[in-house]
Structure 1
Amino acid sequence: MSDYDRAGLLGGWIDADGDCEDTRHEVLNRDLDDVVSADGCTVDSGVLDPDPYTATTINFVRGPATSSEVQIDHVVSLGNAWTTGARNLTQDQRVELANDPLNLLAVDGPANQSKSDKPADEWLPDNVDFHCEFVAIQIAVKAKYELWVTAPEKAAMTEVLADCEGQALPTDATVAVGDIPGNAPAPVAEAPAPAPVEPEPEPAPVAPAPEPAAPAPAPVVPEPAPAAPGVPAGGWANCTEAKAAGAAPIYRGSPGYAPKLDRDGDGVACES
C-alpha cells in the first residue's frame, strides 16, 4: 500500500452520462425509496430500507451533519483492489472501477467505516442474510477487472458460498444508473436464419492424379523474442537470482514474474 493514492489513482465521483447527477447520487437514487430531489441532480432525502449491511431502516436527509449516515461503499474496496491487480489497470479503467455501479451500494455509514479496505476474510456484514450476495458481488467485480484474491480471502469466500445454493453472479446489466463506461449490456444478436439445404451434386469424374509438386520450402522459424530488459531469457531461476539483480518483488503481469517464484500465490513473487 506504500504507493496507494486513492484520489490520484482512482479519482472521485464522475458524471458519466452528463445528466448532472454524479455517481454517488446515481446510486442513492437507485438504492433509496421515496427519493426527493429538488434540482434533479442531487438526492435530498430518501429511505434506505433495508440497509444491506445491518438490515436496519435509515431515513436519509442530505446535510453537513446527516449525509454521512448513508455512504456509498465500494464492495471490493479500492485499497483491496489496488493490492490485487488494479495497479496493472490503465487510469481510465481505474476510474471506471471506482465509479462502477456493479461495485457500489448505499449502506449504513458506520458499517462502511468499519469495513474500510478489509477483504472478505477480515470483514463481513452484520446482516448474515446478505453474506451470499456480498461475496457474489466481490467475485463479479474481481472477475470483471481481472483482480485476484489472496488465499485467506478465497477460503472465506468459499466458506460463505457453501451455504449459497442458487446464488446468481450479479451483472452490471441489472442496474440502470446511467451510461457508466463499460456497463452497457452487450446487444443480443438475433440468430441467423438457417441456410437452405442444397441437394448433393453428382460426383464428378475422377481426373488422373497430377504430377507431384515440388516440396514446399521449410517454414522460417522466427527468432525468439528477446527477454525484457534485465530479465534473463529463461526468466529468473529462483528468487535468490531475482533479488541479486534487484528485481524483487515481482508483480503478476510484470516481466520476469513466474508462478514458480510466487509460492503463496498472492500475485507477488519474491516479496520476502
Structure 2
Amino acid sequence: MADHGYSLILEHPADGVALLRFADAGRANQLCWAAVDEMADLLAQCLESGVRVVVLASDLEGHWLEHAWLTDLDHGLGGEPTTSSGSGWYRVMRELSQAPLVSIAAISGDTCGGGCEIGWACDLRIAETQARFAQPEIRLGIPPGVGGVSRLSSLVGRSLASEMVLGGRWTSAQRLFEAGALNRLVDRGAALPAAIEWASELAQLPAAALAACKQGLAAAPELPLSEALTNEQSIFQLTASDTQSRAQIQAQQRFYDAGGTTAECFDDSN
C-alpha cells in the first residue's frame, strides 16, 4: 500500500470494542481518499470479526476528522490521478449503518465537511467543549454530499441545519449539544476515555438485542408511525424468540422473584 502520509490505527481496548484512530498532520486531518477507503476497509473488518462497538477518534491535537482533501476532490472531478477511488465515502457510511455494529464518535477537536458527515452517521457522539463543527461546502461552491443535509437535519432540525449548511460557519459543541446532535459534552481530553468506557458498557449488552435496537432506530424515521410500529414488533418477535434472549428474560425474572427491584437493576451507579 502506498504511503500517503496519514496513519489509521485499529486497536481493541476492551472485549467486543474496536478503536480506530486517525491522524494526518500534513493535511491537518483533511481526509484524502486513500484514508477514507482504508477507513471503510477497517470498519468492514470490524464487522467481520464480530466487533460490537467501534470508537472513531483522532490522534492529532485540535482536529477530529476534517473535510475531504480538496486536491483529491478536484483531481477526481477533473479525471486526474487521486490517492484512491473515493468510493470509501459511501462505503464508510454503509458500514456505519450496519445493525450489528454500534459506533461512537469521540470528537476531540474541530470537524467539518465530510468529517462532520462521518460523525453524523455514527450512532452516538461525544464531543469536547472546545470542538467546533461546520458544513462549509457552500463556501466552495458545492452542497454537502454524504449526509451534511439529510442526517444533520434529522439530528438538529431544519432551522439550525439550514443555518449551518447555507452559511458554512463554525458552530460550537455547546450549541449542538443543546440542539440534540451530541449525546455528551465533556472537558478537553475526556472524549476518548469517555467513549471507550461507554463502548465497553454497550459491548457487554446482549448482542442480538443491541443489533435489533439499532435496526429499529434506523428504520423508524423513514416510516409512517403505523409501519414503524409494525416493524418494531417484528424485530421484537424475532429477537425475543432467540434462545439467548429467553435465557436473559428468565434470569431477570428470577432476580425479581428473589426480591430484586428494577431500581437496583437499572441504576446507573451499579
Coarse TM-score class (shorter-chain normalised):
under 0.3
Q: Which has the larger radius of gyration?
A: 1
Q: Which has the higher helix share?
A: 2
Q: Which has the higher strand share?
A: 2
TM-score (norm 2): 0.24
